[in-house]
Amino acid sequence: MAPMLRLYNTLTGAKEAFAPIDPDHVRFYACGPTVYDAAHIGNARPIIVFDLLFRLLRHLYGSAHVTYARNVTDVDDKINARAAERGITIRELTDGTLAQFHGDVRDLGVLSPEDVNRPGERPCFIEPRATDHIAEMVTMIDGLVRSGHAYVAADHVLFDVPSMPEYGQLSKRPLDEMEAGARVEVAPYKRSPLDFVLWKPAKPGEPAWPSPAGIAAPGRPGWHIECSAMSAKHLGQTFDIHAGGIDLIFPHHENEVAQSRCCFGTGVMANVWLHNGFLQVEGEKMSKSLGNFITIRDVLKDWPGEVVRLTMLRTQYRQPIDWTLRGLEESSRVLERWYNAAGDEPAAGDVPGSVVDALCDDLNTPAAINELHRLSGGPEAQPGALRAGANLFGFLMRTRSDREQDQVAASGIDVPAVEALIAERRAARAAKDWAASDRARDALAALGVAVKDNKDGTTTWTVAR
Ligand code: AMP
Ligand code: ZN
């Protein structure tokens, strides 16, 4: 029997057995990046964690039976401001930032649509962009106005929060408590201070689209409606899993639920809501606004993507992670051990059940990684099983030899010079000319090479670490 996937669901506050609406088509949405600037390593956490869930779902249900949508927010205040500052269109800005994001996450071992989608088949991985879905947003907004869940005021369209009694269910904030606690809202056009923007007028020079609800002035959508429109279009009005960082529970996800449920008349938007914990620096959330961030690109200058990925996954996704140098160093040692243990052995048969079982327990990556440790050394060492298990995570995708070759290529080491020095050293040793042998060894060390004399009399070398 296939292992049972259990996931902690923010909506119910419990870890539950996952039962897809249609086991032949599991549908999963994650809120993606806002592409105005380089992503920081905190933004990489949901991308890596939900990439792992996507891989696990593909493993459990079959790759043709899972659709993953991870959106791109390519219009918002920060994007507009940055594009205006640079004198370029928002599309030029967001295309450039998105290309960088794609490069960054590819280096972190995250699957991309090109890796999984097959021509002529239903796409497995969709990356919808907000500006390509304005028509769908307008249609939803018109529907919400018609059904009395939204209203027009001062060229804005606002969602009428008190029109939805279950508002607050996801974030466990009862509507009456929020109403009582709300401070007087500055925007005079709001009926309730809790009401949020579905559409707003564009300022002069800002990108704008024809407005819904009979508003003459052109405008642009609010952030929350994007995800409601894109998830409905690509995954349906109700789907299986919706994911994002813990900071998105309120208001973003609460508002998505309100829009989608009121528009489509459904009981839920998604059955399961998953939220990753924060990546922190000295106990504080890494964020652009606090200025305590480091970009993915900068981390990748010093560390291989695989090391960064492992550092992210050594903590279970709901727990906070403190981002430290020590954590990266430890991951680097672990990967070294795994590469040595797996050698050039291909992945053997099935992914070990113990690894799958651990991941099926609400993505218990620390337990799954312990299983990989067990397979990597001692009496239970199984190189092929280690590789198969690690591959499910997106690790050990290369053989040890290929990795070493990559390291040599990346290091810029002059290979013919190394080979010549090794030959020189061998000749010096044969002639018992120890001074010459030491000179050759020192010259090799200076080139950044570690030499190993093997029992069979051969000498091999790697990039020194
Ligand atoms: P933002 O660009 O702030 O909208 O964030 C994009 C995604 O990254 C959202 O899912 C956030 O929840 C997530 N995120 C932002 N900062 C962090 C952090 N420090 N740790 C974990 N996730 C984060
Ligand atoms: Zn969203």
Ligand 1, atom 12, lies closest to the CA of: 245
Angle (CA) 444-448-451 rounded to 5° is: 50
**Is pLDDT of 22 > 90?**
yes
pLDDT of residue 180: 83
Interval 410-456: pLDDT, tens: 888 989 999 999 999 999 999 999 999 999 999 999 988 888 888 88
Ligand 1 pocket: which of 10, 34, 36, 43 to mutate (most atoms within 8 A of CB) = 43
Which residues are within 5 Å of ligand 2 (an ion), measured at CB? 31, 227
Taking residue 239's Cβ as centre, other Cβ atoms within 10 Å add up to 26
CB 41 within 8 A of CB 299: yes
Q: What percent of the chain has pLDDT over 90?
A: 88
Mean pLDDT in the chain?
95
Tell the CATH topology of 296-403: Four Helix Bundle (Hemerythrin (Met), subunit A) (1.20.120)
- CA atoms of 153 and 189, how far apart (whole Å): 6
The mean per-residue pLDDT over the stretch 106-128 comes to 97
pLDDT of residue 379: 86
The two tokens of residue 76 are 């918002």
Domain ranges of the chain: 296-403, 412-463
**Is pLDDT of 1 > 60?**
no
DSSP codes joined into one string, 174-238? -HHHHHHHPPPPS-TT-SSTT-EEEEEEPPTTS--B--STT--S-EEE-HHHHHHHHHHHHH-SS
31 assigned ligand-binding residue: yes
177 assigned ligand-binding residue: no
- CA atoms of 314 and 298, how far apart (whole Å): 21
Pocket-forming residues, ligand 1, beta carbon under 6 Å? 31, 33-34, 42-43, 45-46, 244-245, 247-248, 276, 278-279, 285-287
The two tokens of residue 96 are 């450039």
pTM of the model: 0.94
Of residues 464 and 35, more confidence is placed in: 35
227 assigned ligand-binding residue: yes
256 assigned ligand-binding residue: yes
Distance 127 CA to ligand 2 centre (A): 13
The two tokens of residue 134 are 């304005």
pLDDT of residue 210: 98
| Strand ordering across the sheet containing 239-245 | 125-126, 66-70, 26-30, 239-245, 270-276
Q: Which residue has the tokens 């459904």?
A: 266
- Integer-rounded Cα Rg, in Å, for the chain is 26
Interval 310-368: pLDDT, tens: 999 999 999 999 999 999 999 999 999 999 999 999 999 899 999 999 999 999 999 99
Distance 224 CA to ligand 2 centre (A): 6
CB 73 within 8 A of CB 226: yes
Interval 244-287: pLDDT, tens: 999 999 999 999 999 999 999 999 999 999 999 999 999 999 99
Q: What atom of ligand 1 comes closest to residue 33's alpha carbon?
A: 6
**Is pLDDT of 229 > 90?**
yes
- CA atoms of 38 and 102, how far apart (whole Å): 11
Interval 47-95: pLDDT, tens: 999 999 999 999 999 999 999 999 999 999 999 999 999 999 999 999 9
Interval 139-187: pLDDT, tens: 999 999 999 999 999 999 999 999 999 999 999 999 988 888 887 666 8
CB 174 within 8 A of CB 180: no
Burial 434-454 (b: 16+ CB within 10 A, else e): eeebeebbebbeebebebeee
pLDDT of residue 185: 62
